[in-house]
Structure 1
Amino acid sequence: MNELQEGPLFKFSEWPKGQIPLLAAGVYTVWRGDVFLYAGMSGRGRKQEHLVAEPGQSQKPLGLRTRLKAHASGRRSGDRFNIHVCDRFVIPALTPEQQVDIGLGRLSLDQLTKTYVHEHLGYRYLICRDGKEAGRVERAVRGGALQAGSPYLNPQSAQAVRR
Structure 2
Amino acid sequence: MDTDELEHHLSQRPQMGHDRLQDVPPSPGVYVAWLDNPTQCLYVGMAGNLYRRIRSHFSGQRGGDQFCLYVCDRYVFPELCRSGEPPATDEINRATRAWIRRHVTFQVLALPAAESREAERQLQRKLQPILNPLPEGGDGST
TM-score bracket, normalised by the shorter chain, equals: 0.7 to 0.9
Tell me the alpha carbon deviations over residues 107-138 of structure 1, each in whole angstroms, 9 at most, x when there is no partner. Answer: 52111100000111100000002x22011100
Alpha-carbon distance in 2 for matches of 1:86, 1:162: 23
Indicate whether 1:21 and 2:4 are aligned: no
> 1:152 is matched with which residue?
130
TM-score by length of 2: 0.82
CA contact (8 A) 2:124 2:132 kept: yes
Specify the structure having the higher radius of gyration (Cα): 1
Indicate whether 1:42 and 2:25 are aligned: no
- Code of the aligned partner of 1:21: P
> 1:11 is matched with which residue?
17
For residue 6 of structure 1, report the CA deviation from its aligned partner: 5.2
What is the RMSD computed on CA atoms of the aligned residues?
2.2
Provide the secondary structure at the position in 1 that maps to 2:118: helix
Q: Where is the helix percentage greater, Structure 1 or Structure 2?
A: 2
> 2:105 is matched with which residue?
122
Alpha-carbon distance in 1 for matches of 2:95, 2:107: 23
Residue 101 to residue 161, structure 1, CA distance change in 2 (3 Å): closer
TM-score by length of 1: 0.72
1:81-120 alignment runs, 5 A limit: 81-94=67-80, 96-97=82-83, 99-100=84-85, 102=87, 105=88, 108-120=91-103
> 2:121 is matched with which residue?
139
CA contact (8 A) 2:134 2:140 kept: no
Instruction: Give the count of matched residue pairs.
Output: 133
Tell me the alpha carbon deviations over residues 41-78 of structure 1, each in whole angstroms, 9 at most, x when there is no partner. Answer: 012xxxxxxxxxxxxxxxxxxx1111111001000112
